[in-house]
A and B are shown apart, each in its own frame.
Chain A
Amino acid sequence: MKKHNDWRFLIPGMIVVAVVTQVPFILTLVYSTLRWNLARPDLPVKFYGFKNYWYFLRIQDWPEIPEFYSIVWQTVLITICALALCTIVGFLLALLLDNVIPGVNVARTLILGPFFVMSTASGVIWKTTILNTTFGWYGTIAKYLGFTPVDLISYHPIAVIVLLFSWRWMPFFVLMMLAGLQSIPDEIIDSTKVDGVNWWQSTFLVKLPMIRKHISVAMMLGLIFLVKEFGLILVTTAGGPGTSSYTLPYAVYMQVFNASNVGRAAALAVITVALTLVGINILYRSIEKRSAIYD
C-alpha cells in the first residue's frame, strides 16, 4: 500500500486548538506565579512564587474564614445541587418522554427548548417576567394568594441560581438519558413484562443500570457546562448581594476586569481548573465502581 501523510489533515486543526486553549492554559500557570497588576504599571512584573495562591488560601485570623473559602463552598454547593437536580429530575422526565403517545415529539421538542436559549436571555426572562416581585408572575401569584412576596434574588440567591442552572441544562441530561432509554432493546422490556416485573423494579433495577453509561457521560459533560456557566449569574444576581452568590469563574472575572490583578486572577483560574478536575475524577471513579457491580 502507498504511504500516506495523514498528519496534514490533522495539523491545521491541532495548531488552532493548541494556540487557543493549550498555550494560554500553560501561560495561566506561569502568570499565577507572577506579581502582575495591570492597574499598577509602576510595579514591575516579577516572580512571586506561591504568594498569589497563599493570598487566597491563608487563614489569617482563625476562626474567621476568608471570603475565598465561602466562594469555593458556594461553587461546590451550586454545582452539586444543580447536578443532582438535573440528573434526578432529568431521569424522571426522560422516563416520561420515553412513552409512546401521540405528539410525543412535540413534547420532547418543548422540553429540549431551554438548552438552545442563550444564558443571558434566559436569565433576563426569568428575572423580569417571573421572579420580579411587582411585575413578574411570582409577585402576582403571591399577591393573589395573599402573602407579601420576598425578593428571591436578594434573599435566596443560591437557590435561584440552582433553579436557573437546572432549568437551562436539564434538557441536555434528558436528551442523553432518553437516547439511552430508547437504545434498550424491546425484547428486554417485553421479557420483564412477561416475568411480571412491576414498574418500580423495571425502572430502577433494569432500565437505570442499562443506561448508566449515558448517565455518566451526561453528568460529566453537564458538570463542565455548569462550571462554565457565567452569563446567568451576571444578569440575575451579579454575584450579589455582596459576594454571596459568587462562583469561582465569576471571581476570576472580577479579579481580572475589576481588580486588574493578573497574577491573582490566574491563581484563582488554576484553582478552578484543579477543582473541576477533582470533581470529574470523583464522579468518574464513583461511576466506574458502580458499573463494576453490574458487569
Chain B
Amino acid sequence: MSGTRTTQEIQRTILLKKVFKKTVLTIIIFTVAIIYFSPVLYMHLSAFKTEYDAVSPSLFFSPTLETFQKVLGDENMYGYLKNSLFQVCAGTIICLLLGIPAAFALAFGKFKSQGTNKKVYLWFLTTILLPPVAVIIPLYTWFQTFNLIDKPLGLLIIYVGFHVPIVVWMLHSFFSDVPVEILEAAEIDGCTRFQQLMLVALPLVRTGIIAAGLLVAVFIWNEFFLAFNLTGNEAATLPVYMARFREQQGMFVAQLSAASTVVILPAVIFGWFSQKSLVKGLTAGGVKG
C-alpha cells in the first residue's frame, strides 16, 4: 500500500494529477471560448452554404462558394465598401498625423505653467467620455447648412475629431516610457523639436503607433451611429449596409452570412494583430494615468 510507494511513484502520481488537471482545464477553456465565439463561427460556416442549405440550422453540408460570388458580385456593396475603405484609410492617417505630435508634446513639451501637460491630457480624455448623441444635433444642422450631408468629407472630419483623443490617450503611455535623457542628448546635438520627434522618439514608439492606428481603424470601420445619421445613399459605410441588408434583400441567411463575413473579417483580423499592444496602451494609459 502507500507504505511501499517509492518517491518516484509519488512523483509520478503528482505529475499525473497535474497533467489531468491541465487537460480538464484545457477542455473547459476551449469549450467556453468556442461557445462564446460560436455565433461568429456559425456565420462564417453559413457563408459557404447554398441558400437552400441555410434555411434550417445545420453543421454538415457541402461547402460552396456560390453565395460569396453572389454577394461580391453585388455592385450595391462596392459603394459602401469604397466609402468604408476611404474613411478608414484617410481617417486613421489624419488621426495619427494630429495625434502623434499632440501626444509627444504632452509627454515632453514644456509650457509656461507647470500643469498644462496634465490639464490638456485630461481634457483629451474627457472628450472620449462624451457620448455621440450629445453632439449629433448641432452636427446635423451644420451639415445641412454647409451641404455636407451624405458627403464622405463631412463624415471624415467628424471621425477625425472623435478618434484623435484615442490616439493621444494610447500613445501617451508609450511616449512616457521614452527616457527624457535621449531627447535632451539629441537636443544638445542640435536637433530641433521636430527632429527629436521624427528621428528619436518615433522609432521608439513604433509599436504604440501601430496599435493606436489599428484600434482607430477598427473603431472607424465599425462606427455606426454617426454614419447612419449623417449619410444617405452616397457616403454610407458598411455598418449602414449591414443594418439595411434585411430591408433590401429580405431573409436570405446564406447571403447575409457571406456579406457579414466579408464585412467583419478585416476588423477581426486587424484587432487580433493589435491585441498585445492594445492591452499595453489601454491599461498603461488608463491605469497609471
A interface residue numbers (CB < 8 A to B): 1-2, 4, 6-7, 9-10, 12-14, 16-17, 19-25, 27-28, 31, 93, 96-97, 99, 101-104, 106-122, 124-126, 128-130, 135-137, 140, 167, 175-176, 178-180, 183, 213-214, 217, 221, 224, 227-228, 230-231, 234-235, 248-249, 252-253, 256-257, 262, 265-266, 269-270, 272-273, 276, 280
Contact = CB atoms under 8 A, between A and B. Distances in A.
Nearest to B43: A125
B85 interface: no
Contacts of A16: 98, 157, 160-161, 164
A203 to B, nearest CB: 15
Given A125-B260, A129-B257, A116 B270 contact: yes
B222 A101 contact: no
Contacts of A235: 242-243, 246
A21 B159 CA distance: 10
A213 B57 contact: no
Given A269-B136, A273-B130, A101 B25 contact: yes
A232 B267 CA distance: 17
B271 interface: yes
A37 to B, nearest CB: 12
**A interface majority secondary structure:** helix
B49 to A, nearest CB: 11
Contacts of A175: 275, 278-279, 282
**B interface majority secondary structure:** helix
Given A6-B111, A129-B46, A28 B263 contact: no
Interface in B257-277: 257, 260, 263-264, 267-268, 270-272, 275
B36 A110 contact: yes
A111 B102 contact: no
A276 B286 CA distance: 19
Size category, B interface: 35 or more
Interface string B172-196: 0000000000000001000001000
A136 to B, nearest CB: 7
Contact of B133 (A129, A130, A253): A253
Interface in B106-136: 106, 108-111, 120, 123-124, 127-136
B152 interface: no
Given A27-B138, A214-B287, A112 B129 contact: no
Contacts of B26: 101-103
Contacts of A270: 134
B39 interface: yes
A224 B127 CA distance: 11
Contact of A118 (B101, B197, B238, B251): B238
B86 interface: no
A106 B37 CA distance: 12
Interface stretch (B8-16, B203-211, B223-231): B223-231
A96 B29 contact: yes
Contacts of A213: 287
A121 B242 contact: yes
Contact of A135 (B55, B228, B267): B55
A215 B33 CA distance: 21
Given A9-B104, A221-B286, A231 B275 contact: no
Contacts of B131: 224, 227-228, 249, 272-273, 276
23 contacts: A4-B193, A20-B162, A22-B127, A24-B134, A24-B138, A110-B34, A110-B36, A118-B263, A124-B260, A135-B56, A137-B57, A140-B57, A167-B39, A179-B283, A214-B287, A217-B282, A228-B225, A230-B224, A230-B225, A231-B225, A249-B131, A253-B136, A276-B129
A262 B135 contact: no
Contact of B260 (A12, A21, A108, A121): A121
B135 A24 contact: yes
Contacts of A248: 133
Contact of B33 (A10, A107, A256): A107
B263 A262 contact: no
Contacts of A2: 187
B168 A13 contact: yes
Contacts of B165: 17
Contact of A125 (B33, B40, B55, B275): B40
B136 A112 contact: no
B135 A13 contact: no
B17 interface: no
B52 interface: no
B239 interface: yes
B72 interface: no
A1 B187 CA distance: 9
Contacts of B148: none
Given A13-B98, A19-B161, A231-B225, A118 B242 contact: yes
Contacts of B263: 118, 121
Contact of A180 (B30, B197, B270, B283): B283
B268 A117 contact: yes
A272 B161 contact: no
A124 B102 CA distance: 39
B36 A12 contact: no
Given A108-B275, A135-B56, 11 more contacts: A6-B108, A7-B109, A12-B102, A22-B127, A124-B245, A124-B260, A126-B39, A135-B57, A183-B283, A228-B131, A235-B243
